[in-house]
């Protein structure tokens, strides 16, 4: 029977110790057997511990594969009790926690595995996938990069890295990584899907169409990839304005996934475009019934009802959305905007905006404060309206010209109600200097339409240089 490497190593060291002691003195030789026995016992104990930890870990792995996650966790913990430095057991335990949705504990254990074994590729991948799922892209990126360095032929790692690069708008790097993934695994459905998604985001619709067509023809066994392939091809045709092809692929998707909310949502989009609003409403309602907790879906359907003049239904959906997802900001903004547009339900809208302000981040506050200003103006409280408008103005992110122009126009309306024509003119001229879009220019014209001539805003766009004019002509 062979000896384990640790014992063999221990015997080798002991032999060296004997030779060394012989060279030193007879007295040292006399004490050597006791030392040798102690060293051998320690080596045997360490080897036994490692074997026991390995045994518990392997049992845990097998139970994990069978879906018996709690039992697997118990065995991984036993392995760690025996050998606290067993990186594989920490990684296995962390992955099991992730399967249970206990992300914090999972992250802690996988990080411990990486502390013990920094180049442990399985642990790197598990942590990177967790960060990707949690949209912690800046933390996911170095992990995927590290994995491609450790395993340069890992096509999946390159594909995930390209997706991370796209999410942070590092487009050139994303294209390089996706190309590398495709070179390594040209027929992998997940990699083809990622390339199709990147092409769609970059509005390279012809290329995206080819990738999606390949996937649809392949009919991948993975339901998620197959569904995304059909819906992705629908989106391409929809963006291209090809409604007949979009309908054909939507019908095929419905055959594959007859009770899927995303499929019905696509039918709703198509019928809305074709101005078949009654059928579109049925499709959207069906989509919501199939996925009743999808806040983003509810928000989109509420917007549809607003667009066709069914504001009461929009209000109902926004309220349901806020009840379902209390921190989903778009529902608060949508409900307040609807109240401002209808000039109804202003008190409810005010309380909604106040609640939203309690958890809004810095990018959301200007919009909410401006909405509060609108509500106060409609209620006749011009002093509070101006206070909120100024607060909104003061927290506009640097360089956000669109928000600045919109808030300046609103301030001009408040000045106008107060009879301060000089301030009206100043704010409108400042808004015009920000080169606002056509919709805001129309709003400026509406506000200025009944101003006395001396207070009418005057603005001439800066003359373009000859170089600029020449470049535009080219």
- Domain residue spans in the chain? 1-101, 360-461
Q: Give the pLDDT of residue 473.
A: 39
The model's pLDDT over 46-100, given as tens digits with 9 standing for 90+, comes to: 455 578 889 999 999 999 999 999 999 999 999 999 999 999 999 999 999 999 9
- Spatial distance between the Cα atoms of 269 and 237, rounded to a whole number of angstroms: 12
Is it true that domain 1-101 has CATH number 1.25.40.10? yes
Closest by CA position to 157, among listed 169, 168, 145: 145
Contact 231, 212 (CB under 8 A): no
Over the range 281-299, which residues count as b (16 or more CB within 10 Å of their CB) and which as e? bebbebbbebbeebbebbb
Q: What is the pTM of this model?
A: 0.74
Q: Give the pLDDT of residue 87.
A: 95
| Tokens found for residue 73 | 């966790």
For the chain, what is the radius of gyration of the CA atoms? 33
pLDDT band at 32 (very low <50, low <70, confident <90, very high): low
- Spatial distance between the Cα atoms of 465 and 474, rounded to a whole number of angstroms: 14
Whether the CA torsion 299, 300, 306, 311 is positive or negative: it is negative
Q: Is the pLDDT of residue 398 over 60?
A: yes
Is it true that domain 360-461 has CATH number 1.25.40.10? yes
Q: Give the pLDDT of residue 468.
A: 40
The model's pLDDT over 358-388, given as tens digits with 9 standing for 90+, comes to: 999 999 999 999 999 999 999 999 999 999 9
Q: How far is CA 450 from the centre of its chain?
A: 47
Whether the CA torsion 228, 232, 235, 241 is positive or negative: it is negative
> CA distances (Å), 415 to each of 221, 341, 394, 428, in order?
63, 20, 17, 11
3 state SS of 60:
helix
- Spatial distance between the Cα atoms of 446 and 450, rounded to a whole number of angstroms: 8
Q: Is the pLDDT of residue 10 over 70?
A: no
pLDDT band at 204 (very low <50, low <70, confident <90, very high): very high
Q: Is the pLDDT of residue 37 over 90?
A: no
Residues above pLDDT 90, as percent of the chain? 82
Q: Give the pLDDT of residue 45.
A: 47
Q: Give the pLDDT of residue 124.
A: 97
Q: Looking at residues 263-273, what average pLDDT do you find?
A: 97
The model's pLDDT over 441-472, given as tens digits with 9 standing for 90+, comes to: 999 999 999 999 899 888 655 444 444 433 34
Identical fold for domains 1-101 and 360-461, yes or no, is: yes
Please state, rounded to an integer, the average pLDDT across all residues of the chain: 88
Q: Looking at residues 1-23, what average pLDDT do you find?
A: 38
Q: Give the pLDDT of residue 20.
A: 36
Q: Is the pLDDT of residue 413 over 80?
A: yes
């Amino acid at each position: 029977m062979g000896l384990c490497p640790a014992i063999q190593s221990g015997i080798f060291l002991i032999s060296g110790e004997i030779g060394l002691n012989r060279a030193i003195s007879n007295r040292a030789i006399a004490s050597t057997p006791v030392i040798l026995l102690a060293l051998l016992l320690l080596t045997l104990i360490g080897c036994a511990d490692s074997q026991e930890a390995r045994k518990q870990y392997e049992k845990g792995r097998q139970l994990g594969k069978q879906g018996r996650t709690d039992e697997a966790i118990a065995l991984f913990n036993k392995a760690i009790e025996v050998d606290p430095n067993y990186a594989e057991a920490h990684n296995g335990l962390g992955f099991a926690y992730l399967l249970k949705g206990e992300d914090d504990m999972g992250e802690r254990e996988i990080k411990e595995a990486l502390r013990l074994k920094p180049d442990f590729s399985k642990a790197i991948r598990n942590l990177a996938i967790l960060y990707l799922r949690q949209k912690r892209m800046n933390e996911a990126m170095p992990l995927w990069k590290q994995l491609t360095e450790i395993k340069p032929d890992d096509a999946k790692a390159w594909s995930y890295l390209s997706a991370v690069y796209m999410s942070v708008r590092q487009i050139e790097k994303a294209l390089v990584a996706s190309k590398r993934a495709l070179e390594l695994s040209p027929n992998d459905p997940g990699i083809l899907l990622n390339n199709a998604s990147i092409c769609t985001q970059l509005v390279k619709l012809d290329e995206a169409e080819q990738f999606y067509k390949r996937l649809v023809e392949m009919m991948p066994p993975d339901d998620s990839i197959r569904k995304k392939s059909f819906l992705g091809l629908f989106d391409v045709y929809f963006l291209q304005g090809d409604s007949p092809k979009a309908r054909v692929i939507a019908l095929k998707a419905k055959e594959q996934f007859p009770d899927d909310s995303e499929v019905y949502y696509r039918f709703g989009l198509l019928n809305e475009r074709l101005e078949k609003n009654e059928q579109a409403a049925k499709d959207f309602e069906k989509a919501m019934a199939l996925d009743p907790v999808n806040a983003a879906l509810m928000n989109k359907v509420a917007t549809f009802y607003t667009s066709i003049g069914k504001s009461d239904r929009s209000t109902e959906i926004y309220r349901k959305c806020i009840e379902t997802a209390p921190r989903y900001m778009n529902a608060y903004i949508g409900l307040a905007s609807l109240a401002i547009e209808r000039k109804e339900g202003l008190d409810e809208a005010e309380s909604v905006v106040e609640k939203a302000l309690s958890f809004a981040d810095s990018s959301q506050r200007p919009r909410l404060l401006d909405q509060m200003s609108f509500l106060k103006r409609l209620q006749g409280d011009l002093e509070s309206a101006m206070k909120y408008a100024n607060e909104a103005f003061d927290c506009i992110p640097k360089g956000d010209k669109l928000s600045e122009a919109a808030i300046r126009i609103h301030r001009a309306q408040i000045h106008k109600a107060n009879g301060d024509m000089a301030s009206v003119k100043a704010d409108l001229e400042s808004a015009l200097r920000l080169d606002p879009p056509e919709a805001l220019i129309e709003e400026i014209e509406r506000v200025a339409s009944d101003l006395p001539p001396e207070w009418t805003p005057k603005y001439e766009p800066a003359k373009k240089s000859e170089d600029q004019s020449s470049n535009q002509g080219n």
